[in-house]
């Protein structure tokens, strides 16, 4: 049944479908779209839609408001933890992108849990949302990736799920002491424990693991470190995804230009590696850049609005 135009106008102005409201959007020169969502309780989260020339359309979605893991090079880690997202809030980020793409004859093809938060610290909601992404949006498990900094018990749990969802480990250092300095989770789950869980996962599932490595100039991009990483991963079914460090306000590291030499050194030990294509850097939508800068602006605007009313 058709609704009267006046009613449709009122509904569009005063109602929302789902849990999330679009608070702000930014469009990168490369076509990447960053969206700030406002949850029903006023919490703010970010997610990103990345278009590629191959017609692939990837949504990078968040699992928490902020993050408790404290990785020094990550903007979300620098902002601290607020709360877990619900299964519905996680799913809706992907569903809204999928609906908008469909309306213009395109299709959401991939979903990655690489936005704000640590997915394996919100395990049940993330797995529930993943199953809905598969069943409701028709996105196959092999086109979904969950990234974790190394929450070992839930890597082991994930190995028993019987899902073909891809697993990525945010690694970034091959030495315990060095990794603990930039990734506090390593103080609880040291590299031998993490690698044991990864080997169990591969043995149990037969699936390849991706290790993410942010190349930081003068810190983890030299040939010696590549050899150390190669020794650590040798014999494991895996792939290394090299990420040129993206700038964040709370970390002084610089992106490396040594990727090719790093790749060649890993190849000597039979470990494949590629460089991730940088997307949305000009709007702070790149890997590790999602933070609450926009939410701070909105909070200031709300405060100013209340001050004027008072």
Catalytic (active-site) positions: 46, 287
Give the number of other Cβ atoms within 10 Å of residue 91's Cβ. 25
Distance CA 147, CA 164 (A): 14
**End-to-end CA gap in the chain:** 44
CB-CB neighbours of 180 under 10 Å: 16
Is residue 298 classed exposed, middle or buried when 0-12, 13-18 and 19+ CB atoms within 10 A define those classes?
A: middle
| CB neighbours of residue 223 within 10 Å | 12
Q: How far is CA 116 from CA 18, 47, 112, 122, 280, in A?
A: 20, 8, 11, 12, 16
Distance, CA of 82 to CA of 61 (rounded, Å): 16
The Cα–Cα gap between 138 and 121 comes to 26
DSSP for residue 216: B
Cα distances from 305 to residues 22, 36, 184, 308, in angstroms, run: 19, 20, 39, 5
Nearest CA to 239 out of 166, 153, 131 is that of 166
């Amino acid at each position: 049944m058709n609704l009267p135009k006046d009613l449709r106008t009122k509904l569009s102005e005063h109602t929302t479908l789902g849990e999330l409201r679009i608070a702000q959007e930014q469009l990168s020169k490369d076509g990447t779209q960053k969206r700030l969502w406002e949850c029903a309780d006023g919490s703010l989260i970010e997610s990103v839609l990345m278009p590629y020339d191959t017609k692939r359309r990837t949504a990078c979605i968040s699992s928490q408001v902020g993050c408790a893991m404290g990785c020094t090079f990550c903007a979300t880690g620098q902002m601290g933890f607020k709360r877990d997202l619900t299964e519905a809030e996680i799913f809706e980020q992907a569903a809204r992108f999928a609906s908008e793409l469909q309306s213009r004859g395109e299709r959401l093809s991939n979903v990655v849990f690489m936005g704000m938060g640590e997915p394996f610290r919100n395990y049940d909601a993330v797995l529930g949302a993943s199953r809905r992404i598969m069943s409701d949006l028709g996105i196959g498990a092999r086109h979904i990736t969950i990234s974790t900094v190394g929450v070992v018990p839930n890597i082991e749990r994930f190995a028993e799920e019987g899902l073909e969802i891809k697993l990525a480990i945010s690694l970034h250092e091959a030495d315990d002491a060095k990794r603990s300095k930039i990734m506090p989770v390593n103080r609880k789950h040291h590299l031998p424990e993490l690698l044991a869980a990864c080997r169990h996962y591969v043995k149990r599932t037969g699936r390849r693991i991706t290790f993410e490595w942010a190349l930081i100039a003068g810190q983890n991009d030299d040939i010696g470190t590549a050899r150390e990483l190669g020794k650590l991963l040798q014999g494991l079914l895996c792939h290394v995804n090299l990420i040129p460090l993206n700038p964040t306000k709370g970390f002084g590291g610089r992106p490396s230009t040594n990727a090719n030499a790093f790749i060649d050194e890993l190849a000597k030990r039979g470990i494949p590696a590629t460089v991730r294509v940088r997307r949305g850097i000009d709007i702070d939508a790149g890997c590790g850049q999602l933070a609450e800068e926009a939410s701070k602006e909105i909070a200031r605007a709300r405060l100013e609005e209340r001050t004027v009313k008072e």
